A = this chain, B = another copy of it.
Amino acid sequence: MQNDKHSANIKDVAALAQVSTATVSRFLNGNLNRMSDATAERVRVAIDKLKYVPNSAARQMTTKSSKLIALIVANTDDYFSTELFKGVSSILESNGYIGTMLDSDSDLQREKNLLAAVNSHTFDGLILQPFSTISTIENIMRRRAPIVIVDRETPQSPWPQVVTNNFDAAREATAYFVKRGFSHFIVLTSDLSAATNRRERYRGILAAATNVDVLEVSEASYNHRDIHEKLIQLLTKTDERTVIFALKERWILEFVPNLVLQGYIDNVKATATGFADTAVSRRLEPKMKLISQNPFLLGASAAEVMVQALKDGGEQNDDVIVVPAKFK
């Protein structure tokens, strides 16, 4: 029997279990339909006794493929991110790949660390909701694995991108409210400078309205009561009909329900809208018209682009695919 637990190999297991190495291999790969229960049990016992560690890195050498795809999202706490991941996983799995999610936590340095980790590990590809610039990503991603950019359109990307029509969707929603007599807009957003999609949305609002206040909320740290009171000040500073326009669903869920309960949002003097995808926001009364992005579809589309690149041996173009948002 082996004493060094790192040295047992598949032949040792086969010898102890009195089976062929092919049988051990079938066992390890979960291919049990040509094997009796007794045989499977003998193999299991032999593996346990020898503390045999099948070397998946060695198995990978033969295929040069891990079948793992990394999705780096900005914040896993956002429903947008997790639905994006569900869309990605769904398409990947039907093509024999496995989606795994990593969380940059809206932190540029953390995103860089994750990119370096993805670069140095055995991922077959990367789908990225980026904070970093293209040159930063290029500097870190040294391997030739396919990359797909998702959600945040990034200038000069050499890789394909799957994004929402942020500018048009925000402009159209704003124009809708202007037409109905709302002239004052409060843009409720995380740091505008940090993400291209937020800036595009803000530009869209400015393209259709002139009286626009901006209230930035730091994702890392904010005081709920302060923001709530600032919103009330902004809502009551004018007689104009006002729209609170949240660039992110979290800020709707966080601030709108209590403004409704306190009577500030009544759909007459003031209403709220924004980018929102969960059922929770849609079920608040009074009903608000919201912009839905369909993050599942964005993720599925990004995964389809990834699967195609993998089929094409890593060849990629710099197409921008737009999945339109819906205002309803």
Contact = CB atoms under 8 A, between A and B. Distances in A.
Contacts of A143: 53-54, 56
B120 A103 contact: no
Interface in A207-259: 224, 253-254, 257-258
Given A56-B122, A77-B83, A279-B224, A100 B70 contact: yes
Interface residues of A, number: 66
B260 A283 contact: no
A82 interface: yes
Contacts of A284: 257-258
A30 B116 contact: yes
Contact of A57 (B64, B224, B279): B64
Q: Max chain B CB contacts within 10 Å: which of A28, A58, A66?
A: A66
B56 A58 contact: no
A182 interface: no
Contacts of A64: 6, 53, 55, 57
Interface of A: 5-6, 27-30, 44, 47, 51-61, 64, 66-68, 70, 76-77, 79, 81-83, 85-86, 89, 93, 98-103, 105, 113-114, 116-117, 119-122, 140, 142-144, 224, 253-254, 257-258, 260-261, 279-280, 283-285, 313
